[in-house]
Structure 1
Amino acid sequence: MIERHPCVYILASGRHGTLYVGVTSNLLGRLHQHRSGGIPGFTSRYHVHRLVHYEVADTMEAAIAREKQLKNWHRDWKAALIERSNPLWDDLSPSLGLPPFLSS
């Protein structure tokens, strides 16, 4: 279970939609915050709630470094990264034990 491990993650509003790159040590908790509107801002404003990519890191410092790297990437590079392991941009939340995000 990756619940309490440092990781970087990418959320999307839909296939090839708006992207958000974040870092956390509690991915399940962070996803819940994004989806419940507990974090006002970008993800709630642009309806970016679908987990399309995540990477577990050995340390929080490594996860933060990877987040900074991804945030500096061109959009096309991020899309290619997502599509290598998730070509249909499916919501990966069910693989972590969460229900898929259903837009309202």
Structure 2
Amino acid sequence: MSYYVYITTNPARKVLYIGITNDLTSRMAQHYTNRGSAQTFAGKYFCYNLLYFEEHQDSKAAIAREKELKGWTRAKKDVLIATENPD
């Protein structure tokens, strides 16, 4: 099974959300459907635009990577995104 660590943003590109899933397509659909919902961070801030993702074969490795990325500064996250998705 594959696990994905991903980064989304809102239309204004002001907020980043980092998450993990084993079904990236469905998860992105959920983020879009939940946009504007105050019940979740991603929903509250309209984080449904996928900027970056990476695939892992091990769930523990994916969770560790998610935690690592969440600890990074915004500048470091922006550099990571730009290397894979310059647009």
What is the total number of aligned residue pairs between the two structures? 85
2-side partners of 1:62 and 1:73: how far apart? 17
Give secondary structure in 1 for the equivalent of 2:53: strand
- Read off the aligned partner of 1:11 and give its amino acid letter: T
- Structure (1 or 2) with the greater strand fraction: 2
1-side partners of 2:4 and 2:74: how far apart? 20
What do you get for the CA RMSD once the two structures are aligned?
Answer: 1.8
1:85 Cα deviation (Å)?
A: 1.2
Query: What's the TM-score once normalised by structure 1's chain length?
Result: 0.74
Percent sequence identity over matched residues? 36
2-side partners of 1:83 and 1:13: how far apart? 16
Query: What's the TM-score once normalised by structure 2's chain length?
Result: 0.88
2-side partners of 1:36 and 1:16: how far apart? 18
- Read off the aligned partner of 1:53 and give its amino acid letter: Y
**1:42-62: CA deviation from partner (whole Å, max 9, x where unpaired):** 111111110000000021111
1:15 Cα deviation (Å)?
A: 6.3
1:29 Cα deviation (Å)?
A: 1.2
Gaps of 5+ in 2: none
**Contact 2:20 2:63 survives alignment (8 Å):** yes
Give secondary structure in 2 for the equivalent of 1:73: coil
Tell me what 1:42 maps to: 41
Tell me what 1:19 maps to: 16
Give secondary structure in 2 for the equivalent of 1:51: strand
Tell me what 1:6 maps to: 3
**Contact 1:16 1:79 survives alignment (8 Å):** no
